[in-house]
Structure 1
Amino acid sequence: MNYWLVKSEPSEYSWEDLSKNREDIWDGIRNFQARNYLKEMKCGDQVLFYHSGKTKEIVGVAEVSEEAFPDPKDNENKGWVAIKIKPKKALKNPIDLERIKSDDLLNTMPLIKQSRLSVMPIEKIQFDHIIKLSS
């Protein structure tokens, strides 16, 4: 199993939207590195859901429910892909960006080093630490 973080502006698509829908397509990714990460995601992989924009915090845990398939929004057939994710649980205490930056175990995450990347891998130890911090 692998661990990931996906980012979304809550005004575009929020954790609440995913929770309401119970499963949804994660599409519209137009960055080659993020696309390659989408292709690596497997069913059952755990995904941290991060709200970008004003709040800048990890708010929930989702799971990959369908592996990469052609992005239905790729009208020019450029090879973009999408996956499906489903919500598992909202974090009791969201973990904000300042806490991530100040934590020695988390401040090496791609979220800090590649802040514009919308899909990224994280290490299991970081995932577990975030879950522990949010309890």
Structure 2
Amino acid sequence: MAYWLFKSEPGSFSIEDLRHRPGMTEHWDGVRNYQARNYLRDAVKPGDLVLFYHSNIPEPAVVGIAEVVRGGYPDYTAFNPGSEHFDPKSSPVSPIWYMVDVRYVAAMPRPVPLEQIKGNPLLAAMPLVKRSRLSIQPVTPEEWRTILAMGGMTDL
């Protein structure tokens, strides 16, 4: 099992949106960065756990936990000209972009703001702290446990 941080703008898709989906499950689509795509296609697996991070808001924060329930498969939103994620270079025969399915596990009792994450020396090596703009980022087991503790959760 691996740990990840997935970023989402809450105005587009929030932890509460995930919680209210049928089966509390949704596909994680629209990733249009090659490194993040490679993680989704090659590394993110069912059973992996995800820190759900609300980005591009006044106080970005880890707000919840999700579990990957389906590994990488072609992101079909790229094939739909009516989709905001359409990519004319991607096709069902030769897909470029991938997605995974995630299921809601829990909301953090206390959101863990980016400023607190940056202030914790145990988290100094996280891509998030190093200003990575990637929407999919690996998290070490130590970082996972530290963030859960900061958010008032026991280890999952």
TM-score, L = length of structure 2:
0.83
What is the deviation of 1:114? Answer: 4.1
- What is the aligned partner in structure 1 of residue 3 from structure 2? 3
Percentage of matched positions with identical amino acids: 43
Count residues with an aligned counterpart.
Answer: 135
2:52 partner amino acid: F
**Separation (CA, whole Å) in 1 of partners of 2:140 and 2:100:** 20
Cα-Cα RMSD: 1.0
- 1:122 correspondence with 2:139: yes
1:92 partner amino acid: P
What is the deviation of 1:87? Answer: 0.7
- 1:45 correspondence with 2:63: no
**Separation (CA, whole Å) in 1 of partners of 2:107 and 2:68:** 16
- What is the aligned partner in structure 1 of residue 98 from structure 2? 81
What is the deviation of 1:107? Answer: 2.2
**Separation (CA, whole Å) in 2 of partners of 1:130 and 1:111:** 12
**Separation (CA, whole Å) in 1 of partners of 2:145 and 2:46:** 19
Secondary structure of 2:138's partner?
strand
Match of 1:72 among 73, 76, 79: 76
**Separation (CA, whole Å) in 2 of partners of 1:5 and 1:106:** 13
- What is the aligned partner in structure 1 of residue 34 from structure 2? 32
- 1:99 correspondence with 2:116: yes
**Separation (CA, whole Å) in 2 of partners of 1:11 and 1:19:** 15
Match of 2:66 among 53, 62, 68: 62
**Separation (CA, whole Å) in 2 of partners of 1:84 and 1:6:** 12
TM-score, L = length of structure 1:
0.96
Which ranges of structure 2 fall in alignment gaps of 5 or more residues?
A: 80-89
Which ranges of structure 1 fall in alignment gaps of 5 or more residues?
A: none
Secondary structure of 1:131's partner?
helix
